[in-house]
Amino acid sequence: MRKIVLGLMASMLCMPTVTTYASANPTAANPESLNIYSARNEALIKPLLDQFASQHNVTINLVTGKADALLARAKSEGQFSPVDIIITTDVGRLARAKSQGLTQPITATLPAFATLQDPQQHWVALTTRNRPIIINPSNIAEGEITRYEDLVKPEYKGRVCVRSSTNIYNQSMVAAMLMQQGEAATLAWAKGLVNNFARRPKGGDRDQIKAIVAGVCDIALANTYYLAAMRNADADSVAIANQVKVVWPNQSDRGVHLNISGIAVAKYAKNTEIANQLIAFMLGREAQDWYAKTNHEYPVDPAIEWSGTLQAMGTFKAESVELNEVGELNAKALQIMDKAGWQ
């Protein structure tokens, strides 16, 4: 039995979807409950929650919405917040949730492969995603671009599309660059990139890919997740996505930018035991396989095979940085981008 209730949230700019999953065992008395705030689209997580609810006789109350708005809601609710679990995207948001006192240490026994986590175990990665360079192969020759640094070359003036500096994916990418290249080099790169913009930054990652095919630009930055989703969507999206190509940058040095989606136990969670059980479940083989095959995200479990779509994009070397430090440097990264004129 399932019902959906829509309503306005205080301190939110978006309308959430509130979904209750009743226990899969209707004869069971007094099932446990678990309250989840998720920045993941319902369709991308519901099958996993259904399975967990069935296995553990738990009623799941799911609130989905924009990542930043959900964190703002949890913060405004304070100790009276009903949330037990926070599921969100980008290490910057996970670090922000911790710094704002919205999380507590995970007590579940995590598998050995779950190395992408907060040092105090306030969050752990469920999947990884990368931010490579996307090109029009008709206008950019094979091997012409091999590094992020190439994007600032004068021959690419007016040929680069990218999202706004307010986008956290870009902030984390620049934060990682700050850690590896230093402030001066990162600022110089950001200024060079701005100089090569084909248009004022706007839209999401899918919009940058569409802009390449529309002839607005020849180069873009986008997370692999979005391109994979387009290649498994409607016919028009597939036709667009198949006209671009992925370039894995910096394979001879630091590697492509790495980010994550992750999960945390809320600070004032009332149902910590079942919350920790859910985290263990999400890192289990079935859930990791779902993420890889259905959502086309890279599983953190190296034993799980990637989807055919991900395999077709090729293998890569990812950067090796302390993700918690990336999250902590997001504000500094935004300052650098603002200074460079990246709107």
261-277: pLDDT as tens digits = 999 999 999 999 999 99
Q: Which of 31-40, 55-64, 260-269, 328-337 has the lowest mean pLDDT?
A: 31-40
% of the chain beyond a pLDDT of 90: 83
- What confidence score (pLDDT) does residue 302 get? 96
- What confidence score (pLDDT) does residue 19 get? 54
- What confidence score (pLDDT) does residue 27 get? 34
Q: Cα separations (Å) of 156 from 150, 195, 318, 339, 340?
A: 9, 9, 25, 21, 17
Three-class secondary structure of residue 6 per DSSP? strand
- What confidence score (pLDDT) does residue 30 get? 44
Three-class secondary structure of residue 156 per DSSP? helix
pLDDT at residue 209 tops 90: yes
pLDDT band at 328 (very low <50, low <70, confident <90, very high): confident
Distance, CA of 59 to CA of 62 (rounded, Å): 10
Q: Treating both helix axes as pointing N-terminal to C-terminal, what angle do 272-282 and 46-56 enclose, rounded to 10 degrees?
A: 120
pLDDT at residue 150 tops 90: yes
- What confidence score (pLDDT) does residue 31 get? 55
Distance, CA of 289 to CA of 124 (rounded, Å): 17
pLDDT band at 28 (very low <50, low <70, confident <90, very high): very low
**Under CATH, which architecture does the 130-257+315-340 domain have?**
3-Layer(aba) Sandwich (3.40)
CB 208 within 8 A of CB 122: no
- What confidence score (pLDDT) does residue 41 get? 81
- What confidence score (pLDDT) does residue 21 get? 47
Cross-strand bridge partners of residue 87: 38, 263
Cross-strand bridge partners of residue 318: 256
- Give residues with Cβ within 8 angstroms of 335, minimum separation 6: none
CATH of domain 2-129+259-304: 3.40.190.10
Three-class secondary structure of residue 213 per DSSP? helix
- In the chain, what are the domain boundaries? 2-129+259-304, 130-257+315-340
Please determine whether the domains at 2-129+259-304 and 130-257+315-340 fall in the same fold group of CATH: yes
Three-class secondary structure of residue 224 per DSSP? helix
Round the average pLDDT of the chain to a whole number and report it: 90
Stated pTM of the model: 0.87
pLDDT at residue 250 tops 60: yes
- What confidence score (pLDDT) does residue 58 get? 93
pLDDT at residue 20 tops 80: no
- What confidence score (pLDDT) does residue 93 get? 92
pLDDT at residue 206 tops 60: yes
Query: What confidence tens digit (pLDDT) does each residue in 93-134 have?
Result: 999 999 999 999 999 999 999 999 999 999 999 999 999 999
The stretch 311-334 carries a mean pLDDT of 92
pLDDT band at 176 (very low <50, low <70, confident <90, very high): very high
The stretch 159-174 carries a mean pLDDT of 96
Greater pLDDT, 9 or 216: 216
The stretch 17-39 carries a mean pLDDT of 61
